[in-house]
């Protein structure tokens, strides 16, 4: 194993790791937004919105994320959507992550005993007041861990955007293989950096989860 | 014109869940300061009737009136929501499983609704919470989260939470049924105290002794109808209907 080589190329990989992190953060933000909207749609009192929410979830969970990225990036221009690779990566992965987060958020909300909302309504709170003062704070605490799982998956899924040539970690590893012919070292180095990002994120999620729990 | 002077008036209440008719033409009047117990076998519609009073389970037929105002009146959705939220502020409800808010302390459980709905300042709401928790004997646990309270303590906080809205009417749906036997008395004591203060109460209960000791009137329900109704001395000691006798035989046998 060529450790010297790994140390030499390491700074370039680090730079690529920042791109992966930026991609992850933007994807996570878009995913959370879409997940919130998706959950609101799936829990709506209007059948049309429930249908749209369900269709969104089944399409994006029921097809490979890579195909979704290809449709957006390569197929997009055909229907008038011009995006650069990074934009397509964020939007494609964000919408995909949002489908998973929709189910996470909805799951947490429906797991709150309906007696909670009833107790609020009985006191005179409106539907919305009971939701945001009673149901949501409880559901929010339950969501932290499963959203952490979604985040973990989403970070790993950012590797897919190498296929549309976003210069992030995986793409960078592939590029260095072209000049060094050392796939083992290059992919290992990328793997180590992914692991550090994911480990740190996992610790952050665990910390947040502890912080919001009621003792 | 019918007489609307009763404090609570239920007229020809009918309720179906799909094909299942749970309440069949029930009428009931409760006067201010009266305490009415509803007894009857499980599934007879007691909870449904109680929950119709504050429209938690809206009736499919009939009317509910409270203090001269119709609760289940026909209004467009938005207006109805506003109306019902106002009505509910006057009707306290206590549930079998307490339904305390687990993410809030005892204090916050009590202060939340008065702050949100009555615009109380934090200081006013705190004072109110202290008064109400004192009344139910829970002042020393004011900063506790529900997870650290016993069932009886939770139920007393739930009562304080309801009382903080200064309701005109209190509804109790088997408030002691989920409690270990040794915790029942502390909750009953709070309910007795309310009775002494002439709070109007409708109490669904399985405890015949308690019903007999605090109530002015007892309703025996079975299969969605009121089978028998009268003062506890008559309904418990001298019931006229066979179904009442049979029910009481089963329930009083265990009690004494
Ligand atoms: N939300 C509901 N949907 C369908 N059936 C219900 C619902 N709530 C109650 N019921 C049915 O109505 C009947 C009366 O229930 P309930 O009022 O809870 O009885 P009780 O409180 O006397 O035990 C039961 O048969 C019960 O299964
Ligand atoms: Mg019941």
Q: What would the pLDDT profile of A57-100 be if each residue is shown by its tens digit?
A: 999 999 999 999 999 999 999 999 999 999 999 999 999 999 99
* Whether B93 and A122 lie within 8 Å, measured CB to CB: yes
Q: Using CA atoms, how far apart are residues B102 and B147, in angstroms rounded to an integer?
A: 7
Q: Are B4 and B31 in contact (CB under 8 A)?
A: no
Could you say which residues of chain A have pLDDT below 70? none
pTM of the model: 0.90
Q: pLDDT (tens digit, 9 = 90+) per residue, B20-78?
A: 999 999 999 999 999 999 999 999 999 999 999 999 999 999 999 999 999 999 999 99
The answer to whether the beta carbons of residues B41 and B220 sit under 8 Å apart is no
What is the C-alpha to C-alpha distance for residues A187 and A9, in angstroms, rounded to an integer? 12
Q: Which two tokens stand for residue B201?
A: 């109460």
CA pair distance A33, A44, nearest whole angstrom: 16
CB A189 within 8 A of CB A2: no
- Three-state DSSP at A66 gives helix
Is the CB of residue B184 less than 8 Å from the CB of residue B12?
no
Q: How far apart are the first and last CA of chain B?
A: 48
Q: What angle do CA A116, B64, B83 make, to 5 degrees?
A: 60
Helix (H) or strand (E) run with residue B194 in it: helix B181-196
- Taking only the tens of pLDDT, chain B with its 256 residues reads 455 589 999 999 999 999 999 999 999 999 999 999 999 999 999 999 999 999 999 999 999 999 999 999 999 999 999 999 999 999 999 999 999 999 999 999 999 999 999 999 999 999 999 999 999 999 999 999 999 999 999 999 999 999 999 999 999 999 999 999 999 999 999 999 999 999 999 999 999 999 999 999 999 999 999 999 999 999 998 888 989 999 988 877 554 4
Read off the CATH number of the domain in which A113 is found.
1.10.3720.10
Decide if the complex's ipTM is over 0.90: yes
Nearest to A99 by CA among A160, A182, A38: A38
The whole-number pLDDT of residue A164 equals 95
Total domain count for chain A? Answer: 1
pLDDT at B252: 73
Residues B8, B66: contact at Cβ < 8 Å?
yes
Task: Give the residue whose CA is nearest to atom 9 of ligand 1.
Answer: B48
Instruction: Give me the domain span that covers residue A114.
Output: 3-212
Share of chain A above pLDDT 90, in %: 94
Give the phi and the psi of residue B37 in degrees, each rounded to 5: -105, 140
Distance CA B9, CA A96 (A): 55
CA–centroid distance, A105 to ligand 2, in Å, is 31
User: Nearest CA to CA, how far is B89 from chain A (Å)?
Assistant: 5
Q: What CA–CA distance (Å, rounded) separates B103 from A108?
A: 15
- Tokens standing for residue B206: 């399985």
Closest ligand relative to B48 C-alpha = 1
Per-residue model confidence (pLDDT) at position B253:
59
Q: How close is the nearest chain B Cα to the Cα of A5, in Å?
A: 54
């Amino acid at each position: 194993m060529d450790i010297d080589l790994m140390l030499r190329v390491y700074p370039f990989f680090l730079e690529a790791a920042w791109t992966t992190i930026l991609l992850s953060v933007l994807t996570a933000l878009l995913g959370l937004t879409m997940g919130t909207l998706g959950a609101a749609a799936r829990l709506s009192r209007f059948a049309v919105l429930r249908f749209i929410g369900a269709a969104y979830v089944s399409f994006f969970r029921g097809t490979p994320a890579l195909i979704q990225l290809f449709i957006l990036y390569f197929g997009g221009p055909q229907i008038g959507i011009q995006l650069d690779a990074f934009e397509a990566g964020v939007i494609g992965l964000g919408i995909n992550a949002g489908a998973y987060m929709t189910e996470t958020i909805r799951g947490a909300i429906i797991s709150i005993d309906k007696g909670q909302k009833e107790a609020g309504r009985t006191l005179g709170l409106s539907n919305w007041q009971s939701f945001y003062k009673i149901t949501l704070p409880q559901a929010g605490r339950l969501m932290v861990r499963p959203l952490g799982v979604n985040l973990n998956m989403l970070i790993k899924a950012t590797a897919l955007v190498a296929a549309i040539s976003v210069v992030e970690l995986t793409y960078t590893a592939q590029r260095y293989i072209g000049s060094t012919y050392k796939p083992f070292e290059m992919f290992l180095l990328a793997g180590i950096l992914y692991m550090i990002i994911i480990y740190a994120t996992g610790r952050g999620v665990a910390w947040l989860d502890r912080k919001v729990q009621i003792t | 014109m019918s007489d609307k002077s009763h404090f609570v008036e239920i007229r020809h209440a009918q309720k179906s869940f799909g094909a299942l008719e749970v309440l069949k033409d029930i009428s009931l009047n409760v006067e201010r300061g009266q305490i009415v117990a509803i007894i009857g076998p499980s599934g007879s519609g007691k909870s449904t009737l109680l929950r119709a009073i504050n429209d938690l389970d809206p009736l499919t037929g009939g009317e509910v009136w409270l203090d001269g105002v119709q609760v289940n009146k026909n209004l467009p959705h938005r207006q109805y929501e506003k109306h019902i939220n106002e009505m509910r502020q006057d009707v306290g409800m206590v549930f079998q499983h307490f339904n305390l808010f687990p993410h809030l302390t005892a204090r916050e459980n009590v202060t939340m609704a008065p702050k949100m709905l009555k615009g109380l300042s934090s200081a006013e709401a705190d004072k109110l919470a202290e008064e109400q928790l004192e009344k139910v004997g829970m002042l020393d646990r004011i900063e506790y989260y529900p997870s650290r309270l016993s069932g009886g303590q939770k139920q007393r906080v739930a009562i304080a939470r309801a009382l903080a809205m200064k309701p005109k009417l209190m509804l109790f749906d088997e408030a002691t049924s989920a409690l270990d036997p040794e915790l029942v008395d502390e909750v009953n004591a709070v309910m007795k105290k309310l009775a002494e203060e002439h709070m109007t109460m409708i109490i669904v209960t399985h405890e015949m002794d308690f019903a007999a000791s605090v109530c002015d009137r007892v309703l025996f329900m079975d299969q969605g109808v009121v089978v028998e109704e009268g003062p506890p001395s008559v309904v418990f000691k001298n019931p006229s209907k066979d179904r009442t006798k049979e029910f009481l035989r089963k329930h009083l046998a265990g009690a004494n």
